[in-house]
Amino acid sequence: MSVTPETAEARHSPKIVTALRRFAISITVLNILGYTVLGFEQPWTWPLLALLVAYGTEILLETVAAGVDGRAPRFLGGGMRGFAEFLYPAHITGLAVNMLIYVNDMVWGLVFGVVVAIGAKWVLRAPVRGRLRHFMNPSNLGITVILLVLPWASIAPPYQFTENIDGGLDWLVPAVIITLGTMLNAKLTGRMWLVLSWIVGFAAQAVIRGVLFGTSIPSALAMMTGVAFILFSNYMISDPGTTPGSRLGQIAFGGGTAAVYGLLTGLGVAYGIFFATALVCLVRGVYLWVADGTDRLRRAQELDRTRAEQPSTGSPETDPGSPFSGPCQAGCVGSCACHERADDDSTGREKAAVAT
């Protein structure tokens, strides 16, 4: 399978574009409610800054890539609608990183995470159906790198999603997120098998850790009731651009992420949910490169074998295996016909001998 650079055609199918549009609208509404009603902790100006950084990085890198590939940038030629569709992924990434990370008052930490999240899409790529695609979940990678590089940073407090509401509304928020997320993944992204395998696997690792290490099983399962976990399960781990599309691949990805999370948590690693997702995405990227290399080698071997098995079509002049190879001494033009005349003369003498 040969890998070709992306052209100026649309990066996503119409169904995925619809999913991105609805996701972008949903996360925008959630941020507005978060700063006005729910109780988001970050300054209200930070999501605006995150969006500006995300938009600028995406446009800059697309312009550079278009110049290298000799094509028009994807944000041109489609009018305002095409420009907006191009920025959907950057919009989602910018808001998600700001919403899920907490860097105290160090705003440059947020900027750093957004740049890493967007920039990695142009660096960490693997061949998928003949094209190079990014394989690391952008938002998750940005958060993971912040947690690794900036030890004073942490994830946003989970209580911020329902801090200022009560009286049943704190149940309504997760219910709405689950409903919208399920509809999005079932009808548009096609990642329900991944989400289900992740949830089942998460419950299984909680029970296994309880049996093997004495972890409180109810406490380990209680994490699944939080809004942060529900958001992660419906909107982050199910990213269609960085997860397999096949049923078996989705089950392996979701269950594998849950297993790695259980292992990391059992080893005492904090923020395991983000690290586990990043590790599984990385393993998938390595697998894609290995599979592509294996496929190329197999195709090359098949081509060599086919060439070796093809019958020789050379003339007696050029066929080294012919007893009449070499230039014709009688001056035949083209293929030497002397041996044909010799065969005819021999056949005639045999007939004459039989007749006598």
* Cα 156 to Cα 233: distance, rounded to the nearest angstrom: 16
pLDDT in tens, 302-354: 888 888 887 655 544 444 444 444 555 555 555 555 544 444 444 444 444 44
Residues 104 and 215 in one domain: no
Residue pair 125/134 in contact (Cβ under 8 Å)? The answer is yes
- Calculate Rg over the CA atoms of the chain: 32
Specify whether 153 is located in the same domain as 12. Answer: yes
DSSP character at residue 198 = H
Same domain, 152 and 283: no
Q: Is residue 98 part of a domain?
A: yes
Which of 160, 85, 83, 154 has its CA nearest to residue 113?
154
If asked whether residues 122 and 40 sit together in one domain, one would say yes
Give residue 333's pLDDT.
52
Range of the domain at 80: 8-157
Neighbouring C-alpha atoms within 13 Å toward the C-beta of 136: 25
In a domain, 19, yes or no: yes
Q: Which residue, 133, 157, 181, sits at the end of a domain?
A: 157
Same domain? 132 vs 23: yes
Distance CA 86, CA 79 (A): 11
* Final residue of a structural domain among 157, 173, 190: 157
Q: Please, are residues 236 and 137 in contact by the beta-carbon 8 Å criterion?
A: yes
Same-domain pairing of 117 and 138: yes
Do 223 and 249 have their domain in common?
A: yes
314 in a structural domain: no
Which distant-in-sequence residues (6+ apart) come within 8 Å of 283 by Cβ? 256
Within the chain, residue ranges assigned H as helices are 14-33, 46-69, 79-100, 107-119, 138-149, 169-184, 192-213, 217-222, 227-231, 247-266, 272-309, 338-355
CA dist., res. 101 & res. 186, Å (int)? 28
Same domain? For 285 and 170 the reply is: yes
Q: Which residues contact 131 (CB under 8 A, 6 or more apart)?
A: 3, 4, 5, 6
- The per-residue pLDDT string of the chain (356 residues; one tens digit each, 9 = 90 and over) reads 444 444 445 566 788 899 999 999 999 999 999 999 999 988 999 999 999 999 999 999 999 999 998 999 999 988 899 999 999 999 999 999 999 999 988 999 999 999 999 999 999 999 988 889 999 999 999 999 999 999 899 999 888 998 888 888 888 888 999 999 999 899 889 999 999 999 999 999 999 999 999 999 999 999 999 899 999 999 999 999 899 999 999 999 999 999 999 999 999 999 999 999 999 999 999 999 999 999 999 999 988 888 888 765 554 444 444 444 455 555 555 555 554 444 444 444 444 444 44
Give me the amino acid identity at 268.
G
Q: Are residues 138 and 185 in the same domain?
A: no
Tell whether 12 and 135 lie within a shared domain.
yes
CB-based contact 319:312 (threshold 8 Å): yes
* Domain count for the chain: 2
Report the pLDDT value the prediction gives residue 77, as an integer from 0 to 100.
82
Instruction: Provide the percentage of residues in the chain whose pLDDT is more than 70.
Output: 84
Asked if 114 and 93 touch (Cβ cutoff 8 Å), the reply is yes
CA distance 221 to 327: 87
Instruction: Establish if 334 belongs to a structural domain.
Output: no
pLDDT at residue 244, as a whole number:
94
Domain-embedded: residue 84: yes
* Together in a domain, 143 and 220: no
Judge whether 303 lies within some domain: no
**Chosen domain end from 157, 173, 208:** 157
Residue 197 lies in a domain: yes
Q: Under DSSP, is residue 315 helix (H, G, I), strand (E, B) or coil?
A: coil
| 3-state class (DSSP) for residue 155 | strand
Is 111 contained in some domain? yes
Q: Are residues 111 and 213 in the same domain?
A: no
pLDDT 10s digits, 261-315 = 999 999 999 999 999 999 999 999 999 999 999 999 999 998 888 888 876 555 4
